Amino acid sequence: MGNVFVICEIEEGKVADVSLELLTKGRSLANDLNCKLEAVALGHNIKGIESQIYPYGVDVIHLGDDKRLEFYTTLPYTSIIVDLFKAEKPEVCLLGASTLGRDLGPRVSSALFSGLTADCTALEIGDHSDKKAGKEYKDLLYQIRPAFGGNIVATIINPDCRPQMATVREGVMKMEIHDASYKGEIKEIDVDKILKPEDLVVKVIERHMEKSKVNIKNSSIIVAGGYGMGSKEGFNQLYQLADVLSAEVGASRAAVDAGFADHERQIGQTGVTVRPKLYIACGISGQIQHTAGMEESSMIIAINNDSNAPINKIADYVINGDVNDIVPKLIKLYKKNTK
């Protein structure tokens, strides 16, 4: 049986958080499958990158270091990974559901005719019996994700094709060092041998990468607003509440789609996953797409005027009423009691 592979994203010599989270998950899947965990690291001048990767319990790093791999472009990365996978026949391949992973994953899966499931919120190992075909499958990767606007949760499997590929968003899996002194081995990829001239037709002309201005993922208090805020002006009140509480402002997809907030504030399956100490959900109904990204918050306060809102079922406190009336009251009362 093949091993578990994780494609590592590297930006400015640092392995991305989402890749380290997937290595953590990959280690536990490899333990369940009793196989090795292998990482793929592509870039330029990335010697020494292994010190960031081994501690997550990585047995083998496939390293491709070449000037042509400095910035991610689809075709060279695809060629290298397809070539590697044809030789290594991985059982499982995990990628971040980032702009890189969501560009690369489908291209690789199409070339290898292997299934790919996007934006998984849980990954487990389990069996499957196909009664129609009379076939039994052992140790498949269950790729679990909300689907259909969050109205259902689907478990997807790839019974016959390998690798079983899945993308996962940043923050969904926990990042945990397996063993700080863990050592694996490096296998160099012969980039020159693989890359063809036609892999290089797309070129990066200019790049402006910003450090994210908002840091909702690491904030211990989050004030999040939904479509129920009613307007951009209504939504903007949340910044004042966040300001007094030293919190960050998050948003549901509906609020982002309505233009109340930027996408970088979106919490949920297609945004960030957060686990703050306190989550205040204002005018958010709580579709599973959203709750998938915040249900592990230590404490949840829901403010809305719909006593049947799904969010109320996972909340610790439900404040029933007009959110535009309650938020200013909370600001006032907080100031009064902290003087």
Partner 1 sequence: MGLKIIVLAKQVPDTRNVGKDAMKADGTVNRAALPAIFNPEDLNALEQALRLKDRYPGSEVTILTMGPGRAADIIREGLYRGADNGYLLTDRAFAGSDTLATSYAISCAIKKISDYDIIIAGRQAIDGDTAQVGPQVAEKLGLPQVTYAEEIVSVTEGIVAEDDKYGVPHAILADEVSLNIKGSLVIKRRLERGVETVGTTFPCVLTVNASAPDCRPRNAKKVQKYKHAKTVTEIQDQSEDYMDLTADRPYLKIEEWSVNDIETDINWLGLSGSPTKVKKIENVVFQAKEAKKISSDESELEELIVELIENHTIG
Numbered residues of the known binding site: 252-253, 266-270, 283-290, 304
**From 149, 174, 179, 215, residue interacting with partner 1 (rule: CB under 8 A):** 149
Closest Cα to residue 291, out of 97, 151, 156?
151
What part of residues 97-116 is at the interface with partner 1 (CB under 8 A)? Answer: 98-99, 102-103, 105-107, 109-111, 113-116
Closest Cα to residue 48, out of 24, 14, 84, 16?
14
- Token pair 């000037």 is found at 67
Query: Binding of partner 1 at residue 52 (CB under 8 A)?
Result: no
How many degrees, rounded to 5, is the angle at CA 100 between CA 99 and CA 105? 110
Rounded-to-integer distance, Cα 142 and Cα 29, Å: 11
Specify the pairing of strand 122-130 against strand 92-96.
Answer: unpaired
What part of residues 188-217 is at the interface with partner 1 (CB under 8 A)? Answer: 196-198, 200-212
What's the closest the beta carbon of residue 19 comes to partner 1, in angstroms? 14
In the annotated binding site for FAD, the residues are: 252-253, 266-270, 283-290, 304
What part of residues 2-41 is at the interface with partner 1 (CB under 8 A)? Answer: none
Rounded-to-integer distance, Cα 3 and Cα 163, Å: 9
**From 74, 124, 178, 182, residue interacting with partner 1 (rule: CB under 8 A):** 74
Rounded-to-integer distance, Cα 56 and Cα 73, Å: 26
Tell me the window of 29-37, 41-49, 83-91, 155-163 that interacts with partner 1 (CB under 8 A): 155-163
Query: Binding of partner 1 at residue 45 (CB under 8 A)?
Result: no
Closest Cα to residue 85, out of 116, 54, 51, 56?
116
Q: Which residues pair with 85 in a beta bridge?
A: none
In three-state secondary structure terms, 212 is: coil
Binding mask 252-291 for partner 1 (x = CB under 8 A): --x--------xx----xx------xx---------x--x
What's the closest the beta carbon of residue 283 comes to partner 1, in angstroms? 13
**From 146, 171, 234, 293, residue interacting with partner 1 (rule: CB under 8 A):** 146
What part of residues 162-181 is at the interface with partner 1 (CB under 8 A)? Answer: none
What's the closest the beta carbon of residue 126 comes to partner 1, in angstroms? 9
Query: Binding of partner 1 at residue 133 (CB under 8 A)?
Result: no
What's the closest the beta carbon of residue 173 comes to partner 1, in angstroms? 17
Closest Cα to residue 285, out of 265, 260, 259, 315?
315
CA dihedral 83, 86, 91, 92 (to 10 degrees): 30
**From 20, 37, 281, 302, residue interacting with partner 1 (rule: CB under 8 A):** 302
What's the closest the beta carbon of residue 144 comes to partner 1, in angstroms? 9
What's the closest the beta carbon of residue 287 comes to partner 1, in angstroms? 8
Please state, in angstroms and as integers, the Cα–Cα distance from residue 9 to each residue in 16, 19, 213, 315, following that order: 6, 6, 20, 35
Q: Which residues pair with 251 in a beta bridge?
A: 225, 266
